Each structure stands twice: as structure tokens, then as C-alpha cells.
């Protein structure tokens, strides 16, 4: 039973302890015959069993009863004439009863009655039929009442965790709720006991083991008796990196030897974890521990030197670099390594070598260059930092990184360089920034063009589909058209020409209502491609950008005759341009609308005029040319302003 593997699992189960104690009493002759050696051995085992499982609410009484039974057997084996020894043994049994009565367990009242009967057998007068504490010493009675109260508070929790018809997930949640309650009561022994009960039920629940080890590290910390628990945790759930991290931190708190720490670290690297971050955390925890031991724990005299840290970092990079290329985790490892090379290893050349190895693997990562430059700057190596800027300012980084490194170089020279250094950096950076801005504008133009082409293709496709569906549907006439045809027939209009009939029955845009809803539902051609004649239309400008069609319709309500309203929208932003066309039913209504020119509407003075389509068509080419000219001027001025801003930084 003393082997390491068995020792670990002894504290898992009340039944396991109970069976083992019975086995010892039956097959160990010294224990069975109650020899002094056997008695000492048995008592040691019983006390260990009670420490491990004596607080078990549901089954702990089995161990207490077994302990009392063994001590009764010892009493019966004594010489009846040895009154002093027998009296000591009686007191020993009485003490076990008192300890038992102070523990909340399921059979507490039955234990009280058993105790009173036992006292009566040994000459004390007690009412053995009553469950009251009358006649019992005040200390024992007080402890018993407190145990009863504690049992009452835990009754519901106990009932939930022993249900057999409950799903495992629900039972685990019940255990977690019970554990939270016990932690609030502040008794680490009871919390630890309940964790062991939960672990017995769910031995490979990683969440439970993580919660358990966190609690132990927080409350018991450097208790050396916890080593077995951490060993069990990593054996039951070896795939959980956090458990290995907690194990290494525990060993460090206990000031264990380097051999023990190294052994746990090497065992962890043999496991397979679900995420690369778990490997990173294990390597960094190992380095953290080595750094602290070298700097702050020299009294341990482990013979540690910095070479061990360097070796651990190198193993981490060899192991992780292929999976961590261009990631923050790899940057974190190299930054830490370079700092320790310079601070503990006192080797700046080695620190630079660490950064160079990172750049070889992740040279397109802006943060890698920034970290390297930051180290050189903090150490006062201005020329070395400047040379790094010269190496990387022309590189292409993601996002705005290329512009950022240029701006950082200018700022660096402003703070650390001479005027010549500042001018030199500005001359290098200015054309680079202009190149980057031009490239960005080109990319934006391509994106806009691509978006416009995609939108146009979608519109064309939609138009074709609508035309196809319209051609398949039978021609329908409006009531006004049917009435007009009926009048034509009454005037003996020739009906022999089928072609004439077909042409006459077509509904033209002129015949269709100008209402906006009707345009949407009846016209198969999208509004964008529809040709408006604007024969009886008002052009409205300086319109409030928040105004909508209903607002304009309300504004012209006193005029009347409004048939359709078209507010012009920006192609890209989809917001109002402050312009609108309002179609009227006849010239009289249109003239009345134009008469409202210069009136205030939603805080702005409207400009209202009759729409002139011919003038608009003539001016369209010139308007387009002016827009293109404006874009060219804007591009040139943007490049000039960028150059000026860099020179002024």
C-alpha cells in the first residue's frame, strides 16, 4: 500500500478506505491481535482515513464507526485488572464519539443515541430513549447543535448530488453549486473534502480539476501535502495545459528542487494540447520560474545559470515558430527573450540576434520592427535604431503600417536626431508616403469602379428579367385607355389592320400615371434608366438634406396637382443631394408651384424653377468635364499637402 501509484488514489473514496481498513484488521496479525505495534499502525491508518474522508456527509460515518469498533476491540483485549489502562482506553473511545458528534453527517441523531447508550454502559446515567442533549457536557452539546445546524443547511445540496435519475451535467452543476456554498462558509477542510467527492464522481472533468487546483493555489498555496492532488489532476486530464501551469506554480511556491520542476515541465511537453496558446503558456511559465529563481532565490543553490533560460527559449521557438509566424504570441516570446539576454545574460549581441531571428520569420510584422527599435532606443543606441528605420521604412506592412513606420521615423529624428538627420529622413519618407497614398487612391478607385460595375450588371440583369416577365404577361389597358378605344370604335375607326390595333393598345409612358408608386409597380424599366421628358416639371434646389417626398408633397399641397416627386440621391452615399424634380398634372399647377420660389422650407430658402430638359442635355458634357477636372486638381493638391505635412512634422 505504500507504493506511489496507490498512495495517490487512497483519498478518493470512503468505500476504498473502509474496505482497506477491514482488510488490515483481518489479515495483518499484529493489528488483529492488538499488539502495541499493530495498534499504532491501525490508529495511524484510521486517522489518515478520517482526514481524507471523515467530513463526507453521506458516508463518512462508516469510518468513524469502524474506528470506534476497533478501539472497543482493543479495550476488550486488555487485562480486566489493569484499571488505569482500561480507563484511558474508555476516554479514547469517548473522545472519538465527541469528535464524531461535532461533524455534520447523515446519521447524526442516531450517533447521539448510540453515544448515550455507550455512556450508560460505562456508568453514566442518561436518558437513552431521548434525542435531547440533556446530561451531556456543555461543550459536546454545543458542538452537536452546531453540527445539526450545518447539516440542515446542506440537506438540499446533499439531496441533489445523490440523485441517480439526474443527468451527469446536472449533477456536476449541483456539485459546483454545493462547492460555492462551502467556499462561502470558509472551511478549507470541508471544501477540499467536497472537491474529492466530486472528483470521485467526475474524475476526467477538466473544469472541475481546474477549479480545484485554482482553489488550492489560492487558499492552501505551499502546503506540501497537495502535491499528490496536482499529480492526479495532470494524470486524469493531461490534455489541459492550465493544469500543468498550476502544477509548476505550486512546486515553485513550495520551493521544490529544480529536478522536480524540470520533471513536471518535461512531462507536460509530452502531452497533446488543443490550442497552441497552451504550449506558449507552459513555456513562458517555465521561463518565469527560472528567472525568479535566478534573481530572487539564490539561497536555494540549485546551480542554475542563464544558459538554462536561453535553452528553454530556443526550444520554444523551434517548437512553436512554424505555427506562430506573424503572431503576437511569437513576438511576446522574442521580446521577453531579448530583454532577458540583455538584463540577465548581459549580452546585447545575443539580444540583437533574438530580434534578427524574429525578423527572419516575421519580417512583415510591423510590431516586430517596433519592438527591436524600442529596445535599441531604450538602451541609448540611437545609431542602431536609426539603421533599423532605414531598413524597414520602405517595407510594406498590413493596414496603415507602412505609413505609420514612416511617421515614426520622422518623430524619432525629431526627438533624437540632428537637423541633418531630420532632413535626411524627410527626404526619404516624403516620396514613400506619396507613393503609398497614390497606391491607396488607386485601390479605392478600383474598388469604386468594381462596385459600380457590379451594381450596373445587377441592374441590367434585373431589367432583362423584368422585361422577360413583362413580355410573357398579357397586355393590360388602363380604364382611361379602354374608354378611349371604345370611343374610337364608336366613330367607325378602321379595324381591319391588326398591326394598328396592336400599336394602339400599347400603354406608353405618356399614358401612364406619374405617381411614384405606380412607376414602381407598372414600369418594368428601373427608375435610373427611365427617360423623363420633364414637360410639366419643377426643378427644386437648395433642399434640406433631411427632406423626403412626403415633406415636399406637403409643401406643395396648397398648389395641388402633384403627380410624382423625384429626390436626387448621391450614387455612393445614397443620401440626398438637395435637388428634386416635382411633376405636375398641368401648366397651371406648375406655374403656381414656381410662384413659391424663395420661400422657406425646413430652414432653407428653396429655389424653384421650370425644368428645362434641352438646356440640361446641352450642359451634360461640360458638367462631366468639370467634374473630371476637379478630381485631377484634388489629386494633385492632396499629394502636395502630404509632402508639406511631412516636411512640417
Can you give the pLDDT at residue 522?
Answer: 39
Tell me what pLDDT residue 437 has: 84
* Longest CA pairwise span in the chain (Å): 149
pLDDT band, very low/low/confident/very high, at 605 (cuts 50, 70, 90): confident
Share of the chain above pLDDT 70, in %: 77
Q: How far is CA 238 from the centre of its chain?
A: 24
> Could you tell me which of 15, 14, 17 has the C-alpha nearest to residue 1?
17
| Residues 6+ away with beta carbon under 8 Å from 233 | 209, 212, 213, 243, 246, 247
pLDDT the model gives residue 521? 37
For residue 430 the three cell numbers come to: 516624403
**Who contacts 522 (Cβ-Cβ below 8 Å, separation ≥6)?**
512
| The pLDDT value given to residue 205 | 93
Is pLDDT above 70 for 242? yes
Least confident of 136-145, 235-244, 429-438, 520-529: 520-529
Query: How far is 288 from 304, CA to CA, in rounded Å?
Result: 14
Region at 44 (left for phi over 0; alpha for psi -120 to 50; beta for the rest): alpha
Q: What is the mean pLDDT of residues 613-625?
A: 46
pTM: 0.60
The mean per-residue pLDDT over the stretch 377-389 comes to: 95
Q: What's the confidence (pLDDT) of residue 409?
A: 96
The torsion angles phi and psi of 610, rounded to 5 degrees, stand at -70, 135
Domain boundaries, the chain: 4-158, 164-274
d(CA 126, CA 367): 82
Q: Do domains 4-158 and 164-274 have the same CATH topology?
A: yes
Read off the pLDDT of residues 298-353 as tens digits, 9 standing for 90 and up: 555 556 788 999 999 999 999 898 888 889 999 999 999 999 999 998 999 999 99
d(CA 318, CA 338) in angstroms, rounded, equals 16
Cα–Cα distance for residue pair 569/566, rounded to 1 Å = 9
Asked if 12 and 196 count as a contact pair (C-beta separation under 8 A), the reply is yes
Distance CA(105)–CA(495), nearest Å, equals 109
Percent of the chain with pLDDT over 90: 47
Q: Give the containing element (helix H, strand E) for 632.
A: helix 613-648
pLDDT tens digits, 269-308: 999 999 999 999 999 999 999 999 888 765 555 567 889 9
How confident is residue 445, by pLDDT bands cut at 50, 70 and 90?
confident
Range in 231-245, 351-365, 466-480, 621-635 the model is least confident about: 621-635
**Secondary structure class of 577 (helix, strand, coil):** strand
Range of 381-395, 434-448, 466-480 with top mean pLDDT: 381-395
562-569/576-584 β-pairing: antiparallel
pLDDT value for 383: 95
Q: Where is pLDDT greater, at 621 or 395?
A: 395
Give me the pLDDT at residue 46, please: 94
- Write out the H or E segment, with its range, that includes residue 318: helix 306-324
Residue 106's pLDDT is 87
pLDDT band at 648 (very low <50, low <70, confident <90, very high): very low
Mean pLDDT of the chain: 81
3-state secondary structure 228-297: HHHHHHHHHCCCCHHHHHHHHHHHHHCCCCHHHHHHHHHHHHCCCCCCHHHHHHHHHHHHHHHHHHHHHC
Looking at the domain that runs over 164-274, which CATH code has it been given?
Answer: 1.25.40.10
The full DSSP string for 355-411 is HHHHHHHHTT-HHHHHHHHHHHHHTT-HHHHHHHHHHHTTS--STTHHHHHHHHHHH
Domain 4-158, CATH class in plain words: mainly alpha
- Which triple of cell numbers denotes residue 424? 535626411
What are the cell numbers at 617? Answer: 442635355
* Residue 235 pLDDT grade (very low, low, confident, very high; cuts 50, 70, 90): very high
Amino acid at each position: 500500500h505504500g507504493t506511489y501509484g496507490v498512495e495517490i488514489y487512497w483519498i478518493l473514496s470512503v468505500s476504498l478506505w473502509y474496505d482497506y481498513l477491514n482488510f488490515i484488521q483481518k489479515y495483518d496479525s499484529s493489528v488483529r491481535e492488538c499488539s502495541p505495534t499493530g495498534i499504532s499502525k491501525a490508529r495511524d491508518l484510521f486517522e489518515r482515513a478520517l482526514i481524507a474522508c471523515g467530513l463526507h456527509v453521506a458516508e463518512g460515518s462508516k469510518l468513524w464507526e469502524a474506528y470506534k469498533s476497533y478501539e472497543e476491540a482493543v479495550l476488550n483485549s486488555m487485562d480486566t485488572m489493569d484499571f488505569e489502562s482500561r480507563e484511558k482506553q474508555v476516554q479514547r473511545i469517548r473522545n472519538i464519539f465527541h469528535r464524531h458528534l461535532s461533524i455534520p453527517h447523515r446519521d447524526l441523531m442516531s450517533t447521539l443515541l448510540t453515544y448515550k447508550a455507550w455512556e450508560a454502559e460505562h456508568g453514566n446515567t442518561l436518558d437513552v430513549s431521548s434525542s435531547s442533549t440533556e446530561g451531556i457536557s456543555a461543550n459536546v452539546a454545543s458542538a452537536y447543535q452546531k453540527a445539526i445546524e450545518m447539516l440542515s443547511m446542506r440537506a438540499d445540496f446533499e439531496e441533489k448530488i445523490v440523485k441517480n435519475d439526474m443527468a451527469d451535467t446536472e449533477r456536476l452543476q449541483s456539485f459546483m453549486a454545493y462547492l460555492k456554498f462551502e467556499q462561502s462558509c470558509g472551511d478549507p477542510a470541508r471544501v477540499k473534502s467536497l472537491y474529492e467527492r466530486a472528483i470521485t464522481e467526475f474524475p476526467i472533468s477538466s473544469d472541475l480539476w481546474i477549479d480545484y487546483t485554482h482553489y488550492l493555489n489560492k487558499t492552501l498555496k505551499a502546503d506540501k501535502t497537495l502535491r499528490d492532488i496536482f499529480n492526479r489532476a495532470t494524470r486524469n486530464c493531461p490534455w489541459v495545459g492550465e493544469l500543468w501551469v498550476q502544477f509548476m506554480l505550486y512546486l515553485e511556491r513550495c520551493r521544490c528542487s529544480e529536478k522536480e520542476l524540470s520533471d513536471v515541465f518535461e512531462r507536460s511537453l509530452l502531452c497533446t494540447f488543443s490550442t497552441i496558446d497552451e504550449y506558449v503558456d507552459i513555456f513562458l511559465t517555465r521561463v518565469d520560474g527560472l528567472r525568479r529563481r535566478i534573481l530572487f532565490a539564490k539561497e536555494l543553490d540549485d546551480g542554475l545559470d542563464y544558459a538554462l533560460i536561453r535553452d528553454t527559449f530556443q526550444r520554444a521557438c523551434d517548437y512553436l515558430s512554424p505555427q506562430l509566424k506573424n503572431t503576437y504570441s511569437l513576438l511576446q516570446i522574442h521580446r521577453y527573450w531579448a530583454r532577458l539576454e540583455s538584463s540577465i545574460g548581459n549580452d546585447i549581441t545575443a539580444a540583437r540576434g533574438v530580434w534578427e531571428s524574429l525578423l527572419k520569420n516575421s519580417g512583415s510584422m510591423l510590431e516586430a520592427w517596433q519592438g527591436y527599435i524600442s529596445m535599441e532606443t531604450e538602451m541609448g543606441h540611437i545609431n542602431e535604431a536609426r539603421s533599423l528605420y532605414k531598413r524597414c521604412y520602405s517595407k510594406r506592412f498590413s493596414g496603415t503600417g507602412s505609413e505609420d513606420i514612416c511617421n515614426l521615423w520622422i518623430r524619432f529624428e525629431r526627438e533624437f536626431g540632428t537637423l541633418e538627420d531630420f532632413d535626411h529622413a524627410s527626404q526619404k519618407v516624403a516620396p514613400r508616403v506619396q507613393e503609398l497614398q497614390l497606391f491607396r487612391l488607386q485601390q479605392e478607385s478600383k474598388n469604386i469602379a468594381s462596385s459600380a460595375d457590379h451594381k450596373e450588371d445587377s441592374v441590367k440583369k434585373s431589367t432583362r428579367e423584368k422585361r422577360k416577365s413583362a413580355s410573357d404577361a398579357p397586355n393590360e389597358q388602363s380604364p382611361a385607355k379602354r374608354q378611349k378605344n371604345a370611343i374610337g370604335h364608336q366613330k367607325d375607326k378602321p379595324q381591319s389592320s391588326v398591326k394598328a390595333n396592336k400599336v394602339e393598345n400599347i400603354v406608353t409612358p405618356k399614358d401612364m400615371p406619374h405617381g411614384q408608386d405606380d412607376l414602381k409597380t407598372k414600369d418594368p424599366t428601373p427608375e435610373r434608366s427611365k427617360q423623363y421628358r420633364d414637360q410639366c416639371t419643377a426643378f427644386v434646389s437648395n433642399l434640406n438634406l433631411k427632406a423626403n417626398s412626403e415633406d415636399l408633397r406637403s409643401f406643395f399641397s396648397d398648389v395641388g396637382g402633384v403627380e410624382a416627386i423625384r429626390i436626387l440621391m448621391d450614387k455612393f452615399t445614397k443620401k440626398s443631394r438637395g435637388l428634386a424634380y416635382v411633376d405636375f398634372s398641368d401648366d397651371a399647377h406648375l406655374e403656381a408651384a414656381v410662384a413659391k420660389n424663395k420661400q422657406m422650407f425646413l430652414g432653407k430658402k428653396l429655389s424653384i424653377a421650370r425644368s428645362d430638359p434641352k438646356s440640361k442635355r446641352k450642359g451634360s458634357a461640360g458638367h462631366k468635364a468639370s467634374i473630371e477636372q476637379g478630381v485631377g486638381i484634388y489629386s494633385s493638391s492632396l499629394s502636395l499637402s502630404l509632402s508639406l505635412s511631412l516636411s512640417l512634422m
